[in-house]
Amino acid sequence: MAKLVELVREALEQMPPETRFRPEDEEVIARHRETLLSWTPELVQAFYDTLFAHPPTKAVFREGERPDREKTLEGWWQRTVEGPLDETYFAWMAKVGLVHVVRGVKNPMTLSMLSFVADFVENKSFKAVLPEAEPLSEAFHRLNTSVGVVITYAYDSFRAQALYEITGIEGALMDRIGQQESQAILKRLIEEGE
């Protein structure tokens, strides 16, 4: 099985560089460390209010679990803001993606909340009239897009690995089967006028 950092590299390399998290992004985040950390309680509250207001995401949580999850998110935010936002960070995120899978959190839930966090930073930065509101917001959009890319890429790879262990079908063959089947489905959709 490929190491997590190798998966991270493979995933990030597929992103056009303009869309990928970059060193200047990490620098602008570092310059705003104190401000970003001061937003922690508000971010955590808004994050979980959003998840608990939506039945499919609310259903993931166990009775009385919210305080623990809030602490988890606080820790994640602190680690994110304090950096370093290196391969180890992205590899950790791939692992967190897997922790989520085990608990029945679907990728659309995680990806939309990554976007929620980036939007939160953008709104707060502009409201606070931070001189670097724009680069800071862009940095979080690129960071969370990159995290989402890593999570979904690693997820595909873990699934391929699980399938290989159960069926013995190699990932490359499964990709070919997937491509062929997609072609057949696409043909049917076109024929049915969808």
Report the interface residues with ligand HEM, using CB under 6 A: 51, 57, 60-61, 69, 72-73, 76, 96, 99-100, 103, 105, 109-110, 113-114, 117
Distance CA 99, CA 116 (A): 20
Pick 57 or 137: Cβ nearer ligand HEM: 57
Q: Which two tokens stand for residue 39?
A: 């937003």
Distance CA 136, CA 139 (A): 5
Place of tokens 């995680």: 110
Least distance (Å) from ligand HEM to the CB of residue 28? 20
Least distance (Å) from ligand HEM to the CB of residue 5? 17
Least distance (Å) from ligand HEM to the CB of residue 132? 23
Distance CA 191, CA 193 (A): 5
Least distance (Å) from ligand HEM to the CB of residue 173? 32
Least distance (Å) from ligand HEM to the CB of residue 50? 9
Pick 65 or 134: Cβ nearer ligand HEM: 65
